[in-house]
Structures are given as structure tokens and as C-alpha cells.
Structure 1
Amino acid sequence: MAGPDSGENKLGGPIQHGGNLGRARKLFPQAPEPWIDLSTGINPHSYPYSPIPANVFARLPEPVSLEGLKAVAAHAYGAPSAAHLAAGPGTQILLPIVAGLLDGWSPLAKTLSGLPAISPTRGEKTRGSHSSQSELGRSARLSPPPWGEGGEGFLPEADERPRTSEGADGTHSTKPRRIAAVLSPTYAEHARAARMAGFSVTETDDLETLAAADLAVIVNPNNPTGRIVPKADLLALADVMRAKGGLLIVDEAFMDVSEAESVANAVDAGGLVVLRSFGKFYGMAGLRLGFALAHPDIITRIEERLGPWAVSGPALHVASEALADTAWQQAMRKTLKAEATRLDAALASAGLAVLGGTSLFRLVRDPRAQALYRHLGEHGILTRRFEERPDDLRIGLPEADGRARLEAALKTF
């Protein structure tokens, strides 16, 4: 089973993502301009940032500016403190760094276990380790999964794990190869990053399989299904991973539209890393900015790998302003929810069933999905198809001008 952005080889070759208008123009050379890109799930309403001073472009980023951004971001995302947060040039860069914290070829990393117990944060009640297995047992299998039953992804027994394995660089190791489990189907970069770190990767819809792995990865809300794993289950899984020196990565790239299930305030316990993307909710993916939230000891290791000036001056300027603008954030959540509802109505009028999604995108499942992809492409509208699931199509929110074109194209489908 491959992730929705598949197309990669098992050792991390190129992955086909959304947003490739150059490729779309080659596929549909007669399509009208300008193209409407609905393939990425990025907010069409970019944050209206204030003018950026010229010296921000001319000078290297100041450490004080980075510390200021970290403080604002920690508050916005609910992290215990700025020391629990690292900023980097997009979660695409942070993901392999985090996966690499647990060497896929070595014994369980002792530095990620034995961290202090979580302290209550923002009204969170103190959790004990007694809940770990019971919470997982209560809803171990995400049933019924919206993408259907069956498929690959169950861990082999311990004695079945390969003792001699080939790493991403072609070298061989005689150490036990460690297991990374990714809750799937989802964004393909997570499995790719784990493979590049030396893990044997399994993709599953089962929380107990995740708990049995050395590295567990969950995208929450999920891309492209929009499925949300309850916060209680994530915290229980984090307890399990921490107790054995493992690591849970929760990618909350689309959590800005609804913060209720975020586990960002629980990272101080260790065994948990939360990733947050700036570009999606704020409509500024080109700025390339993302955050990792974790125990300060883990953050130190991430920042060592990032090196100096990992975030550009313009990104520091814009994000510090946007993340502090709670009025814009609250208004935008309402706007996106209303526009997603309107998109649902347009899709329903074309006889298309919405399987899931978030306020930034919808996932359609229909036997005509490939035909719809071509039909919209011929009208200069790019959506996201999935070769391994040909009945699925992800459609992002259009801006005002694009909405009329999308609705008109759907009426002729």
C-alpha cells in the first residue's frame, strides 16, 4: 500500500506532489489560462502581511528574531514554552531530521526515554501511564476506515525481522532492522523519510500495529481523508512509545482549521514530536516554514541538525505577525468552513460523494474520478489524483474567481 502522493521507489526516489502546474500544462495544452490550482489543500486567502523592510532581505536573520518567532509560535500552537519548539524551512525538511533521531539500524535510543513526566498545561489534566494500553485497546483499530478494509501493513513477528538489511545508501547492516509504522493511506513523504533513516516501513490502519513499532507516524487530520485520531488515543500511544524509547510523530499540518485534537501541549513528556506547517492555513506555502514541537532535549538535537539561519528573514517577519493575529485566524476558520460547505454543494450537484477532508480540501470517491480529473484539467483546473486509488480525487478550495469556473465545469461533467 502506498501513500496518496506515491510514485516513489522504496528508497526515496521522486514523489509526485500536487501543485505542478508546469506538468498540468503539458497534459492539457489546450486548457484556458490562468490555471486554477486546487491540487494542494492550501488556503486560497493568503495572510495580508505588512510590508517587509528592505533590510530584512539584505541581512542575515538575527537570532533575536528567531527567538521572537519561537515565542509567538509556541503560544499559537499551545507548546509549553519556546524551548519546546524548533523552526525550519518547512516540515518537508524537518520530517527526515526527526525520523533520523531514531537510527533505524541501532538499538532503541536511550536519549528519548526517561524524560520527565508531563506537567499539566493549559488545563490539561495530569495523565498517568495506566491509561496507555487501555486507551489503545479501546479503539485499537480505526474501524471502519473510510478508505476500505484489508490491505498490507501488519508487523512481522520479532523473529521475522531481517537481521541483514540494505540501507538507503546501499550499505548492509547485520543489526536488527527497526520498524516504522505509518497510519495510512496518507502523505507519502513520511514513509520515505523513515526508509531513508534505515527503517523497515509498514503502512497500516491499526493503532496496535503503530504501538508495536519503534517509530510511529500519524498525520492528524489526515491527508487526504481528513480522518482525525482522538487526542486520548494519541496520548496513550505516546506513553507507549516513550516507555520503550520509541518515538511518535504526529503531523498536524492541517490542524489549524480545528485545534481541538492537537497534542502540542503534551510534548514535554518526551517520546512525541508534533509537526506544524505554516504555509497551508496562512496560504503562504512558498514561504517554506514549519515547526517541530517536542521535549527541549529533542529540540536541541533537531536544531543542531538544522544549523544556523534555517529560517529566512522574510519568513521570520511574516510568520511572527501572522501567528500573533488571533482575530484573522478566528475569522479565517469561519470563512474556510463556509467555503468548504459551498464546495460540498457544488460537488453534490454533480452527483459526487464527498468521502472526507478538512476545511481546506475535500476528498471525492467516485468511479468517475479519473474522468473528472481530465474534465477539470481541460477546463484549466488542477486537482489531485492518486494512481493507486483511481476512484479518489482531492479537491482544494478555490478563491472567489476560481469558484465560478469550478462550479461551471462541474455542471458540464
Structure 2
Amino acid sequence: MLEHGGNLREAARAYDRPLEQWIDLSTGINPHWYPVPATTPNAWHRLPEADPALPDAACAYYGAPAMLPVAGTQAAIQALPRLRAPGRVVVAAPSYAEHAHHWGQHGHQLRQVPYAQLNDAVDECEVLVVCNPNNPTGARIAPEQLLAWAETLAARGGWLVVDEAFGDTEDAASLGAYAGQPGLLVLRSVGKFFGLAGLRLGFVAAHPTLLEKLAAMLGPWTVSGPAQQVALAALSDTGWQQAMRARLKNQGERLRQLLASCGIASTGCALFQWWPEARAEDFHRHMAERGIWVRLFRHAARGIRLGLPPNEPAWQQLEQALIAWNKENT
């Protein structure tokens, strides 16, 4: 398996510190999660037949014409490469590593291409995969550019796959409204913005014919009954969504400014900040020794990613750790 953030038990073992004494900033998951409502008692008893109200709510929230609920976008990432005959695939780099990992496992000719070179690569592939905004760097591609690429690829039966897992605070940039056209697939995650990663729920927006093929491949009962009920409440709660967007934008800017005050020029989105760090392993260790678990990238995107602290004491602990790092390295 590939390495991911959220591996707090690994941190506890490596540094001999109990789980409850850690601040986990290693993911971009909202630390202020949606208040989960009580589910109906039979949600745990009945087989989870698909509730049509859930995709309807998702279409309304994401602005897409048709959506398929999946067990996290990870389920779609693993399945999509099996829906096409082997061909030429370009995955934007760096980005969420699972995309390249799975496209490379099913006979496709895979290339990872830097964001700045994607326009030249479109004519040399049948499938282009982009995270927008990107994870981990926060890089963004204008919707107009993405739609132009989607048209070019669709003309020869290709796909543009756009992973918008971190797009909930940037709805104006979403391609969800266009996902009914052939060849454009948009992935959305409930786990990030709503802070419900344990729910394991995401959605795919695409042409209905393609969604039918994906649903057939994934099989029955892919989303649990409790997950359907919780997600339906979260997707319908516009008041919570509006307040949380404002809160996250403020906190994302606070994190960027905190890093800047310590001489770190970062990029990212409302849920995380990232920067290339020459001494990435040392920074990671420095933070871990102070009970702060951050995301270390060793390879293509050598650097550090930080999520949002969950409360004011955690903000203060992070600030003190950053000040100490700055003093030791200037």
C-alpha cells in the first residue's frame, strides 16, 4: 500500500507517545466535522439498498446532472482504470499518488507530467487525470482550460478525470455542471470538507452510461445504510455549509500567514498548506518530537503539508513549534 496521512498509530509507536497526546495535521480533513445525526435503528440491520434521495441531494449540492455514490473516491480511483482498454494515460504530477498507482496496474501506458506541461501532453494520451485544486500543492487549473482538454479528449473517445476532493470551498471552479457530457468525470469527496473521512463516501459525476458501467463494476451495497443517512443530512444542511466555508477560509489564511511569519512561503487551499522543504525529514522529526504529526513527502513532491489545527491550544502549540524550528535553522 502507498503511504498516506492520518497514520497516527504509526506516529505513536515511532515516538512512544500516546495517541491522545498528538495533534494530527497530516491530512487535509476538516477538523470541525459535521455533527452526525442519529440514524434510524434499522440502518444497521437492513441491507443498504440505494436511497435515490442521496444522489439527488448530491446533484443539488455539487451542481451536477447525475452522480453515483461510491465508498469514498478511492473506490472510483481503483475501478476506473478497469473500465477502459489499455491506452496512454497522463496523470498530473505531483498529485494524489493513488491515481498513478492504479492506472499503472492495468496495462495502461502511464506517464506523470508536471502541471505546467499538461497542455502539451493532452494530444499524446487518451486519459488525463488532474486534481483540482491539487493535493498536495494546491495548484489550480482554470475551468476553461480543463473544459477545452475534455473536449479534445472526448473527440477521440478519451477521458478527462478531475479529482475535486478539496473543491468544496471553491465551487466556482468545479466542473460538476458539465459532467453530463461524454468523456468528463468529476470525483467529489464527503470526507474532506464535511470532516467525515470515516464515513467512506464520495461521488462520481459523469455521463449516465458511464455511471451505469461503474456501478455494475462496483457491485451492490457499496455505501452503508448509516453512511447514506448521515450524508443526506450533511449535503442538505446549507446553513452549516455556508458557515463552515467562511470558517475554513479564515483558518486557511491564518495558517498561511503563520507559516509566512516563520519564513515559509506555502501554497494550498482552505484545508491545508504545502511547501517544498529541503530538510523535510528534519522538519517532520522536529514536529513529531513536539507531538505534532505532519505529512512528509519524500519523492515527487518533496516537502511538507499541514492541515488545520482543531482548536486554539493546538494553534498555539503549532506556532511554538514553528518558532523553535525557525530559530534552530536561521
TM-score range, shorter chain: over 0.9
Query: Of 46, 51, 58, which residue of structure 2 is paired with 1:59?
Result: 46
Cα deviation 1:191-211 (Å, max 9, x = unaligned)? 111112211110112222034
Q: Name 1:198's counterpart in structure 2.
A: 107
Query: Of 79, 94, 98, which residue of structure 2 is paired with 1:189?
Result: 98
Inter-partner Cα distance in structure 2 for 1:30 and 1:390: 28
State the secondary structure of the residue aligned to 2:91. strand
Q: Name 1:388's counterpart in structure 2.
A: 299
Unaligned ranges ≥5, structure 1: 1-13, 105-177
Distance 1:195 1:390, change over 3 A: closer
Letter in 2 for 1:350: C
Distance 1:349 1:369, change over 3 A: farther
RMSD (CA atoms) = 1.6
CA apart distance, 1:337: 1.0
Query: Of 180, 191, 195, which residue of structure 2 is paired with 1:268?
Result: 180
CA apart distance, 1:389: 5.3
CA apart distance, 1:228: 0.9
Q: Name 2:57's counterpart in structure 1.
A: 72
Inter-partner Cα distance in structure 1 for 2:243 and 2:43: 29
Inter-partner Cα distance in structure 1 for 2:59 and 2:184: 16
TM-score by length of 1: 0.75
State the secondary structure of the residue aligned to 1:216. strand
Note if 1:23 corresponds to 2:10.
Answer: yes
Question: Retained in 2: the 8 A contact 1:349–1:411?
Answer: no
Question: Retained in 2: the 8 A contact 1:31–1:379?
Answer: no
Question: Retained in 1: the 8 A contact 2:122–2:153?
Answer: no
Query: Of 72, 88, 102, which residue of structure 1 is paired with 2:84?
Result: 102
CA apart distance, 1:370: 2.5
Cα deviation 1:175-224 (Å, max 9, x = unaligned)? xxx21101111111001111122111101122220342011100110001
Unaligned ranges ≥5, structure 2: 326-330
Q: Name 2:205's counterpart in structure 1.
A: 293
Q: Name 1:156's counterpart in structure 2.
A: none
Higher deviation after alignment, 23-32 or 178-187: 23-32
Calculate percent identity across the aligned residue pairs.
43
Inter-partner Cα distance in structure 2 for 1:189 and 1:33: 29
Inter-partner Cα distance in structure 2 for 1:228 and 1:337: 16
Note if 1:343 corresponds to 2:325.
Answer: no
Query: Of 189, 211, 214, which residue of structure 1 is paired with 2:126?
Result: 214
Inter-partner Cα distance in structure 2 for 1:391 and 1:248: 26
Cα deviation 1:318-345 (Å, max 9, x = unaligned)? 1101111111111111101111122123
- Structure number, greater radius of gyration: 1
Q: Where does 1:223-238 land on structure 2 (aligned, <5 Å)?
A: 223-238=135-150
Inter-partner Cα distance in structure 1 for 2:130 and 2:11: 30
Query: Of 237, 252, 273, which residue of structure 1 is paired with 2:164?
Result: 252
CA apart distance, 1:375: 0.9
Question: Retained in 2: the 8 A contact 1:340–1:361?
Answer: yes
Q: Name 2:328's counterpart in structure 1.
A: none
Q: Name 1:180's counterpart in structure 2.
A: 89
Letter in 1 for 2:89: A
CA apart distance, 1:33: 4.2
Cα deviation 1:347-392 (Å, max 9, x = unaligned)? 22322221x1110000023334332211110111111111115851
Q: Name 2:281's counterpart in structure 1.
A: 370
TM-score by length of 2: 0.93
Inter-partner Cα distance in structure 1 for 2:123 and 2:96: 20
Inter-partner Cα distance in structure 2 for 1:367 and 1:403: 24
